Amino acid sequence: MRIVIAEDDALLREGLAMLLRAESLDVVATADNPTTFLAAVDAHRPDVAIVDVRMPPTHSDEGIVAAVEARRRQPGLAVLVLSAYVEQAFAVDLLAHGGARLGYLLKERVGRVEEFLVALHRVAGGGTAIDPDVVAQLLTRTRPDARLDRLSPRERDVLALMAEGLGNVAIAERLFVTDGAVHKHIRSIFAKLELAPTDGTDRRVAAVLHYLDDADRRS
Amino acid sequence: MAWRTRVQPALLSLRSRTEEADDIVRPRVRISLDALERLVGGLATALLALLCLFLMIVTAVTCVVGVGLLLVPTALRLVRVVADRERDRLSRSGPEILGGQPAPPGLRDAVADPAVRRELSWVAVHATLGLLLGLLGLVLPINVLRDGTFFLWWWLLPAGEATTSLGFPVVQNLAEALGASLLGLVWLAIALYATSAMARLQDLPGRRLLAPGSGTDLVLRVAQLTATRAAALDAHAMELRRIERALHDGTQNRIVAVSMLLGAARRAVARNPQDADVILGRAQDAAEEALADLRAVVRSILPPVLTDRSLPDALLSLATTCPVPVLIDAEGAGRSAASVEATAYFVVAEALTNVAKHSGAQRATVTVRRVDDRLRLTIVDDGHGGADASTGSGLLGIRRRAEAHDGTWVLTSPPGGPTTVEVSLPCGS
């Protein structure tokens, strides 16, 4: 797996590169600002870009802008965004065009190396990885809309794990239920959220986006 | 005990009677001396007003032929200068009179401006009535002396010309001279009892016409407060943003790095314990950096030395961290409200950062003085000058901090140096 890292903090940038190389992953380039990051993406055509949200010059959302631009230049590039804090607007920006090959994690998740690597591989493999904190924030809204109200507590648990990017098997493991039970819950979620099986979009991502979008509109 | 209670009231009343006399005479003399001083002070501005009046008349006359139009701005400027002088004078002896807004730039607007018109009418009144009263104030004490001592020296004057200061009557002998000298007492009575009314009369046009029109001064003050309040909120928001950034991009990143390195070390333990040790060492370094970062952030919020010790101590510790040698002279600082001291500290901190970064100075001096109820800071460096308040964010920060405290701020930085930053803050204590 060929990786480009964009992170302006030298210690984190080098630490992350060291950590990934120790795991036999191929870090082909590191960058400390959006410009060199985009140049590195053009030059190396990596499989995954790991991008910090706050980068020079203004330290606001340069990372998100750069990630979106990198995906425009290289469609299919997997992007894992690291953020110092939960900002669902960033998640919504990122996921606006679908959640495939996208991840949005808090920086400290890197410390749990096994879980971080699982998320990295999931994103590189075409999946989604949304930080549990982001998902939790979205699901504990005080006034969810009517459609979200229809979900049972169990279905909300399942949707939360879906939003993190877990597959059916992984969800079944986490919730200590059978594969079939998860499948049933998910069908029920799609029905309650009025996501028809025929409209061609990835319904799992659509369900998550429904949450993100809804939460964003109300915040 | 009994006799003492009887005697004491008598003693008390004796003393109080002499004091009573004192109480009447002394303040009366003082009041009249004050009034005379004010009248003579008013005479000075009245003479200036007379000059203005003369210039105004010349301008008005020459305006008829067109040339005078060129004189109008000068005349208006001069009127403003003289009026401001009178405002200062009146502010010293009574309630403060705030200066008006600058006159509108256009000629027509300036002449139509009510404040300008009021100043012009003040010039006319003060140059005549004010001048007369001022002259009287000057002549009165002279007349008291001249006529009061007339009986001593009347015989020195040529016969037929020995008169009082009024020019009559002509005195022939000592009895008449003594009678004439009574006039000195009349002058004295006027000086004692009429002068303060005269001074008030002389001040009246200025107080009426030079004070900003009703509403104006409040409007000015509100505008000023709104601006400084906005600046205070701006400075506050900037400050929070700076702290947030310092915590997120500094301290938090360091701690994330610690966590990341610990994670890497745990993975390495199984593979190669030696690697793990190296990584753990780096994790410890990162933890120490996080602590140093945190300390720096805390110090930048409110330096502990400022709350624990005093402003001079805090400034001394600032000076030691500045790469340019700094002389701190803050013994006259006294103690001020905590927020004022914090502002003073940050003003000096930002000024010294500027000195170190931009001035190229060899040395700098920081002087802090308590003058009345204001804290005055002066930061001078021997650098190459040319500092521009509109470009330097540090200087802008100093200005915002000062204005947020209703303080004033002056930057002098000619090309070639030296650069001086002067800040004056109300102490609030």
| Residue A199, pLDDT above cutoff 80 | no
Sequence ranges of chain A with CATH classification 3.40.50.2300: 2-130
Coil vs helix vs strand at A166? coil
- Tell me, yes or no, if B289 comes closer than 8 A to chain A by beta carbon: yes
| DSSP summary character for residue A20 | H
CATH class in words for A2-130: alpha beta
Q: How far apart are CA A64 and CA A79, in angstroms?
A: 10
The Cα–Cα gap between A78 and A60 comes to 22
pTM for this one? 0.53
And the tokens for B95? Answer: 């309630």
Across residues B270-295, what is the average pLDDT?
91
Q: Is B284 on the interface with A (CB under 8 A)?
A: no
Q: Which long-range contacts (CB under 8 A, 24 or more apart) does B224-231 make?
A: B227/B403, B228/B403, B228/B404, B228/B406, B231/B400, B231/B403, B231/B404
Element (H, E) at A129: strand A128-130
Report the residue of chain B nearest A60, measured CA to CA: B245
CB crowding B60-98: b at 16 or more within 10 Å, else e:
eeeeeeeebeebbeebbebbbebbeebbebbeeeeeebe
Quote the pLDDT of residue B21.
64
Neighbour count for residue B190 (Cβ, 10 Å): 16
At A75 the three-state DSSP class reads coil
Which of A173-187, B57-71, B117-131, B363-377 shows the lowest per-residue confidence on average (mean pLDDT)? Answer: B57-71
pLDDT number for residue A5: 96
CATH assignment of A136-218? 1.10.10.10
- Which band of pLDDT confidence, cut at 50, 70 and 90, is reported for residue A201? low
Integer CA distances (angstroms), B192 to A132, B201, B363, B368, in order: 90, 16, 59, 45
Residues in A closer than 8 angstroms to B268, CB to CB, are: 22
Tell me, yes or no, if B260 comes closer than 8 A to chain A by beta carbon.
yes
Supply the angle between the helices B114-125 and B68-93 in degrees, to the nearest 10: 80
pLDDT of residue B327: 92
Q: Does B243 touch chain A (CB under 8 A)?
A: no
Which residues in chain B are contacts of A19 at CB distance < 8 A? Answer: 260-261, 263-264, 267
Q: In a 3-state reduction of DSSP, which class is residue A82?
A: strand
Q: Sign of torsion, CA B53 B56 B57 B58?
A: positive
pLDDT of residue B368: 93
Per-domain residue ranges of chain B: 15-210, 240-301, 304-426
* Interface test with chain B among A110, A117, A118, A120, by most B beta carbons within 10 Å: A110
Structure confidence by residue, pLDDT tens digits, B314-338: 898 888 888 899 999 988 788 888 8
Q: For B304-426, which CATH superfamily applies? A: Histidine kinase-like ATPase, C-terminal domain (3.30.565.10)
Over the stretch A33-86, which tens digit does the pLDDT of each residue have?
999 999 999 999 999 999 999 888 888 888 988 998 998 899 889 999 998 887
CB B123 within 8 A of CB B53: yes
